[in-house]
Structure 1
Amino acid sequence: MKKIVITGTSRGIGLELVKILAQAGHKVLALSRNQDAVKKLDLENVHFFEFDITSEEDLQKASDFVKEQWGGVDILINNAGAIINKPFEEITSEEFESVYKVNVFGVAALTRKLLPLISKEGHVVTVSSMGGVQGSMKFPGLSAYSSSKGAVITLTELLAEEYKESGPAFNVLALGAVQTEMLQEAFPGYKTPLQPAEMARYIADFSLTGNKFYNGKLLQVSSSTP
């Protein structure tokens, strides 16, 4: 049984991860701004509270919970994400920064808060995007999103190197298009054959076992061009 922290659990892949990992018997701390969907699951081994990854107070709250209730954590899945689809000349500095606050600064801040509590044999998995992979197809309007996803790829590689002697392992998954609410909000009408539950099953398995085979690696998880 693992102790697992997951961000971005209000819907989509994050919510499916909570279901899969909790039903497999693991302890899960589900962190998101809206907890209604997680609450409705009514799973005994799922803990949750409203959480804003850009809030220092909430970051400390998550750290305190792990320390006081669990004594440590085995797996951190950085799944929370923000996206804005807007032409570069029209996106404001505030909008650009808001994406980075969630996708980059929040990931770094939560990882830093929990790192002293993560098992040396633990695993930090960050969910990125194919849009952040160098040389991949890029889409107009995603300057903030894709560049932020590229940043966490490099961050993962750096952290793996920095902690390679002491652990934990750090890996990053660059996902292709998945039929999530966030995708629909950014690209109304766009259809992809891959459903959130399918991708969540892959991420859950990788989170549990991937650190046996990988550290500091970017894995491209996409069956399509994007």
Structure 2
Amino acid sequence: MKNIIVTGTSRGIGLELALLFANAGHNVLALSRNPHPELLKNGNITFLSVDLADENALNGIVDFLHNWKTVDAIVHNAGALVLKPFQHLTTEDFERVYRVNVFGVAALNRICIPFMKKGSHVVTISSMGGIQGSMKFAGLAAYSSSKGAVITLSELLAEEYKEQGISFNVLALGSVQTEMLAEAFPGYQAPLKAHEMAEYIFDFTLKGNKYYNGKVLQVALSTP
């Protein structure tokens, strides 16, 4: 039984992932602004309403972690997206996306690392749009650049904490049929459903750090 934190659990991959971990007997701390009814019904899931864009709102997590005492894994799944032509993007748009996709990831890591031990695994969900040299799409300047930033952040943390045995890896996802995909590419049908990708992330979170640290794995069947 492991203690696992999953962010962005109100819908899509995060919801499916939290349920997979819980139904496999693990303790799950589910973080998102709004709860899904399925989360509240599961005895292995603790839900905390948290806005990851507000670093002060994360303070309540520390109190909970003192009860857990250890964190075995984190899956940074939460994401914010703005779809606008670059000329129309404002500084506020960039800040909103980066506060969730980059600053929120960094802040939650800072909170959790004191509770992590050798063998703990931090998995950050990025996007193929954040991979250097990959196909890029108009209107996603804020989102894709933030996903590139979080890749570099994870690589740096893997180096900084390798002596403590804490692993940091990134999964750069291709298209998955989620609400966020529908926002970015209206009408597009992805080859994978949320629960299918969640199954892959579930296995990688529990086992991937045996084989990888500081790595970015591209998990994509199609473009976008």
Place the TM-score, normalised by the shorter chain, in its bin: over 0.9
Find the counterpart in structure 1 of residue 155 from structure 2. Answer: 157
Find the counterpart in structure 2 of residue 191 from structure 1. Answer: 189
Find the counterpart in structure 2 of residue 123 from structure 1. Answer: 121
Indicate conservation of the 8 Å contact 1:30/1:38, yes or no.
no
Question: Which amino acid in structure 2 is aligned with residue 173 of structure 1?
Answer: L
C-alpha deviation, 1:57, in angstroms: 3.0
Find the counterpart in structure 2 of residue 14 from structure 1. Answer: 14
Indicate conservation of the 8 Å contact 1:29/1:48, yes or no.
yes
Find the counterpart in structure 2 of residue 208 from structure 1. Answer: 206
Indicate conservation of the 8 Å contact 1:10/1:37, yes or no.
no
> What's the CA shift string for 1:34-75, capped at 9, x where partnerless?
0134445x11110012111122332111122012x2111100
C-alpha deviation, 1:181, in angstroms: 0.6
- Larger CA deviation: 128-137 vs 158-167: 158-167
SS at match of 1:165: helix
> What's the CA shift string for 1:127-147, capped at 9, x where partnerless?
000000000000000000000
Are 1:60 and 2:56 an aligned pair?
Answer: no
Indicate conservation of the 8 Å contact 1:10/1:38, yes or no.
no
Where structure 1 has 5 or more consecutive residues not aligned to the other structure, the ranges are none
**Aligned-partner Cα distance in 2 for 1:37–1:138:** 36
SS at match of 2:213: coil
Indicate conservation of the 8 Å contact 2:53/2:96, yes or no.
no
Find the counterpart in structure 1 of residue 45 from structure 2. Answer: 46
TM-score, L = length of structure 1 = 0.96
SS at match of 2:134: coil
SS at match of 1:49: strand
Question: Which amino acid in structure 1 is aligned with residue 48 of structure 2?
Answer: F
Indicate conservation of the 8 Å contact 1:11/1:37, yes or no.
no
> What's the CA shift string for 1:141-180, capped at 9, x where partnerless?
0000000000000001000011111121000000000000
Report the CA distance shift for 1:81/1:26 in structure 2 as closer, same or farther (over 3 A): same
1:87-126 to structure 2, matched below 5 A, reads: 87-126=85-124
C-alpha deviation, 1:96, in angstroms: 1.2
**Aligned-partner Cα distance in 2 for 1:217–1:37:** 35
Where structure 2 has 5 or more consecutive residues not aligned to the other structure, the ranges are none
SS at match of 1:104: helix
Q: Using the aligned pairs only, state the percent identity.
A: 63
**Aligned-partner Cα distance in 2 for 1:21–1:129:** 22
**Aligned-partner Cα distance in 1 for 2:154–2:61:** 21
C-alpha deviation, 1:8, in angstroms: 0.3
> What's the Cα RMSD here?
1.0
Residue in structure 2 matching 1:182, options 165, 180, 183: 180
Find the counterpart in structure 2 of residue 219 from structure 1. Answer: 217
